[in-house]
Amino acid sequence: MAEPAHDPRHSPVMRDEVLGMAAPRDGEIFVDGTFGAGGYSRALLETANCIVYAIDRDPSVGATASAMAAEFSGRFHLLPGCFSQMDNLVSEQGVKSVDGVVLDIGVSSMQFDDAERGFSFQNDGPLSMRMSDHGLSAEDVVNDYEEGDLADIIYQYGEEKKSRRIAKAIVLARSQGRITRTAALASIIEKAVGYKRYIRGKKQIHPATRTFQALRIYVNDELSELARGLAAAENILAPGGRLCVVSFHSLEDRIIKKFFKQRSGEQSRGSRHLPQALDNTGLGEDAPSFKMIAKGAVKPSKKEIEQNIRSRSAKLRGASRTDAAPSPRPKTGDEK
Ligand SMILES: C[S@@+](CC[C@H](N)C(=O)[O-])C[C@H]1O[C@@H](n2cnc3c(N)ncnc32)[C@H](O)[C@@H]1O
């Protein structure tokens, strides 16, 4: 993988809003669970004399992280891995709790724009879509999965109504030879479902968009990573600690919204019929572990959307940790 150069002009999505919610103060400890090009880490480090533990599953962030470690000597540490493991990764450093966690869910522009990573059908590349450098790839899924399973993945993670037709076309195409390139897959999908660039003057998304989204989410196990990451943050945050999460599509936002609803006591966390003796928190089974900072989702300003069109679907939700015990962790079982 190519090492991306540090781009000092990089401004992460909703930087000011995230900073406002995270509210870093001198001496505090933060986790940036989605380091990427380091926009949030930098914002936190420049705002207060705090410490940041940054996590990323993509080894190609190494160069940017090393430069940042040198610039903010002793205050910045990269912990390679998945944010679902943030509590373990941080406690391995001897840190028992943190004052804030920031998450910016999804792929980075660097990953998306690098054709060799295989996220984009506009720039032809190998059908990888892995955020890390190992594990299942989109090529494995497209070529080796049963037609029914492929259709289910495309439907569930891409919310694609034509999933069955697309899966059928993929299975037919791969009987002629392995599908190994993003452009080849996009063309199979385009032929299967057709593509009208404009309908009544309105530009339409490419018919492969939803299938690519589905494969990416599946390959990187993104939705269970998110659910487990939120629970890990609940585990590691000190009372008063802030959790700020930016997401880009409804599948992610639904998980975040539900998590905060349950944990802030707006919605039951589960069974209300547990015997009192099994509730060892002393606060009752529904004692809220979070208090919302903002009601509902915060959206980017008009100005930001004009400057960066990719920010248009971003939503920020944030809450601060109470002193109630965390809920039990979701199962770590692999959904695949
Ligand atoms: C949208 S980018 C973050 C951009 C970052 N806020 C910035 O300012 O540059 C998401 C990053 O998180 C990483 N990532 C996504 N899911 C992850 C996970 N479950 N665990 C660790 N890193 C993850 C990706 O590799 C990517 O680098």
Give me the CATH code for the 15-110+222-321 domain, please.
Answer: 3.40.50.150
Per-residue model confidence (pLDDT) at position 266: 87
C-alpha count within 13 angstroms, C-beta hemisphere, residue 231: 16
CB atoms within 10 A of CB 8: 9
In whole angstroms, give the CA distance from residue 3 to residue 59: 9
Find the mean pLDDT for residues 140-161.
98
Which residues contact residue 222 at a Cβ distance below 8 angstroms, ignoring those fewer than 6 apart? 105, 106, 216, 252
Q: Is the CB of 248 under 6 A from ligand 1?
A: no
**What are the domain boundaries of the chain?**
15-110+222-321, 133-219
Fold equal for 15-110+222-321 and 133-219: no
Residue 334 burial (10 A CB sphere; 0-12, 13-18, 19+):
exposed
Find the mean pLDDT for residues 152-156.
98
Over its C-alpha atoms, the chain yields an Rg (Å, rounded) of: 21
Record the pTM: 0.91
> For the packed helices 209-219 and 147-158, what is the interaxial angle rounded to 10 degrees?
100
Q: Is the CB of 37 under 6 A from ligand 1?
A: yes
Report the percent of the chain where pLDDT is more than 90: 82
Q: Is the CB of 38 under 6 A from ligand 1?
A: yes
Q: Under a CB-based contact definition with an 8 Å cutoff, are residues 99 and 90 in contact?
A: no
- Among 9-18, 24-33, 123-132, 165-174, whose mean pLDDT is lowest? 9-18
CB atoms within 10 A of CB 179: 18
Classified by CATH at the fold level, domain 133-219 comes out as DNA polymerase; domain 1 (1.10.150)
Residue-wise pLDDT for 301-311, tens only, equals: 999 999 998 89
Which helix (H) or strand (E) segment is 202 a member of? Answer: strand 202-203
Residue 23 clears pLDDT 70, i.e. is over it: yes
Token couple for 309: 């069109």
Q: Which of 289, 283, 243 is nearest to 265 (CA)?
A: 289
Q: Which of 45, 56, 256 to mutate to test the pocket of ligand 1 (most atoms within 8 A of CB)?
A: 56
Beta strands in 40-173 (DSSP E): 51-56, 76-80, 98-104
Token couple for 193: 């479902």
